[in-house]
Amino acid sequence: MNLLKDKIAFLVEETVKKEFGDIEFQVKIDYPSADAHGDYSVNVAFELGKKLGKASRAIAETLAQKIKLPDWISRVECAGPGFLNFFIAPQFLTDFLQEVIDEGEKFGSSKIAAGKTVVTDTSHPNVAKPMGVHHLLSTIIGCALNKMFNAVGYKVIRDNYLGDYGTQFGKLIYAYKTWGSEETVKKNPIPELLKLYVKFHDEVEKDVALEDRGRAEFKKLEGGDSENRKLWKWIVDLSLQEFQGIYDRLDVSFDYIHGESFYEDKMRAIIDMGIKKGVFVTGEGGALIAPFENEKYPPCLIKKSDGATLYATRDLARTKYWEDTWHPDLMVMVVDVAQSLHFQQFFEVARMLKITKAPNIHVSFGRMSFPEKRMSTRKGNIILLEEVLDEAEERALKLVEEKNPDLSEKQKKAVARQVGIGAMKYAVLSQNRTTDITFTWDKMLSLEGNSAPYLQYVYARARAILRKRGEENFRGGKYILTEPQELALAKLLPKLPEVVVHAAQEFKPNLIANYLFEVAQRFNGFYAAQEVLKAKPEIRAARLKLVEAATVVIKNGLKLLGIEVPEEM
């Protein structure tokens, strides 16, 4: 299906060319916020007015008159100083409901990016440490982006760039050998490893010489020392098992886990390339650095004076590997805003080295704060994700017990999982990711506000209506949607694929969330104002279709955010 918005843009373009000849212009489609201003709006008359030295209003009037309207557009109006507002025909909106229903799961997807490949770097927690909140955000936002990219036609390669390498492993290995034991670590891997790591830092305060010991252990690891390799591998495996538990609960998966260590033997080539191209030069104390023109950024450190490679070196090797392996059209890294400088630096170095032509995008996100004491920091400043997820499910279970005590225990548990995890994800995804997110349980689980449970509840209610419809023939009704509330809902539905495209282009899942919230609100408005099951047969059939099409939209939209919908709630 072609997007309505593209069809309208095409119509306008053709008319402009015919009426105003050879002139450069661009048609941008907007969604008016008030229904009175139509369903789609175009402001090309302003650009044309400037270029032709004519009044924009006059141009808009000419275009409104000359555009040959297809039957799915009921009218176009000229408004204000030169807007063109298009109104979709109720007949079309009514017929479209069946299309939505027939497309089912596929409705919402498009082929805008067909034939293109995107590689994404999401989640990427650090081994031997609990997964932090920023990793949770990267995992949830990344999962949604992956689904959105897929829905607009990209071939998506999901690579988890695990933090499994670097000098800190030397410290950890030293600490383990000195104070650790296999038994205690096995029993409670991540907390014990974290303890050892913290202990190392405490001890360094008393004896700086330990720094060197840590470094020496890392050197041994890098050099292939079999004991250290074995230890390191063991630590990575223990951590992966732990992370997998969280991934399973969140229902996220990856195509590859190429951790930082994967690039160990791929950095040499980058270093040689940089030196040969004159991009890397020797800096203070013999370190290798990449300086920038006009000191745009501080120099990027490529190799320390002791020969150790760095985070940026590995990212460059990763970029080259991605390019050589998949020739992607787009590379996306979903990472905390705190790392912005790092990304600016190594993107610029990658450009200087000409490693790839694909745009490299750092999809950054802000902090998530937990003002409620119970959620914050039990140990140091680390929030244990497992506990947050447990609490989300527990609270959701209470909600389900209140709302629907008749469900079986098993059903309640299943719904609580969908609602609890869904609420958590939605709390992250519905906010503009670039601003800081404040996380509060009540808001997250509210049945009235902009939350996953609210949307899930609307969905479940709609499904309950559909279960009562019985065996009816829905096709061929003559009723055309006319009531304002039913039209208000119906005209939102064809926009799902457009919203998905927009959200994927801007890397903003919240555009989908906002849209779904609007659909749910309009659904409630419609259901409160109009009879469905008790309406006359023809009207009833059309309205049932409207209900069903709305469930398809809510379900598919939430699925793109990684959120499931319960049939009953």
Cβ nearer to ligand ARG, comparing 83 with 161: 161
d(CA 519, CA 529): 15
> Binder to ligand ARG among 121, 159, 242, 498 (CB under 6 A)?
121
State in angstroms the smallest separation of the CB of 137 from ligand ARG. 11
> How many residues sit in the footprint of ligand ARG (CB under 6 A)?
8
Stretch that binds ligand ARG, among 71-79, 119-127, 204-212, 372-380 (CB under 6 A): 119-127
Extended beta strands in 355-504, E state? 360-365, 368-369, 437-438
Cβ nearer to ligand ARG, comparing 363 with 421: 363
State in angstroms the smallest separation of the CB of 311 from ligand ARG. 7
Burial of 69 (0-12, 13-18, 19+ CB in 10 A): middle
Stretch that binds ligand ARG, among 22-30, 70-78, 120-128, 233-241 (CB under 6 A): 120-128
State whether residue 120 is helix, strand or coil: strand
State in angstroms the smallest separation of the CB of 335 from ligand ARG. 4
Cβ nearer to ligand ARG, comparing 335 with 492: 335
- In the region spanning residues 155 to 194, those forming contacts with ligand ARG, defined by CB under 6 A, are 161, 163
The first and second tokens of residue 134, run together, are 């920023």
State whether residue 53 is helix, strand or coil: coil
Q: Taking CB positions, which residue lies at the least distance from ligand ARG? A: 163
The first and second tokens of residue 527, run together, are 């259901």
> Binder to ligand ARG among 15, 109, 110, 126 (CB under 6 A)?
126
State in angstroms the smallest separation of the CB of 382 from ligand ARG. 13
d(CA 106, CA 191): 43
Q: Is there binding between residue 124 and ligand ARG (CB under 6 A)?
A: yes
Stretch that binds ligand ARG, among 14-22, 118-126, 240-248, 487-495 (CB under 6 A): 118-126
Which DSSP string corresponds to 64-94? Answer: HHH----TTEEEEEEETTTEEEEEE-HHHHH
**Residue whose token pair is 């109104």:** 87
Stretch that binds ligand ARG, among 121-129, 301-309, 484-492, 526-534 (CB under 6 A): 121-129
Would the CA dihedral through 524, 526, 528, 534 be positive or negative?
negative
- In the region spanning residues 311 to 340, those forming contacts with ligand ARG, defined by CB under 6 A, are 315, 333, 335
- Which residue from 498, 488, 509 is spatially nearest to 559, judged by alpha carbons? 509
Long-range contacts (CB closer than 8 Å, 24 or more residues apart) made by 406-414: 407/568, 411/568, 414/566
State in angstroms the smallest separation of the CB of 512 from ligand ARG. 24
Cβ nearer to ligand ARG, comparing 161 with 517: 161
Single-letter amino acid code for the residue at 564: E
Single-letter amino acid code for the residue at 163: G
Per DSSP bridges, beta strands 117-121 and 83-88 are unpaired
Cβ nearer to ligand ARG, comparing 5 with 124: 124
State in angstroms the smallest separation of the CB of 343 from ligand ARG. 7
Residues in contact with ligand ARG by CB under 6 A are 121, 124, 126, 161, 163, 315, 333, 335
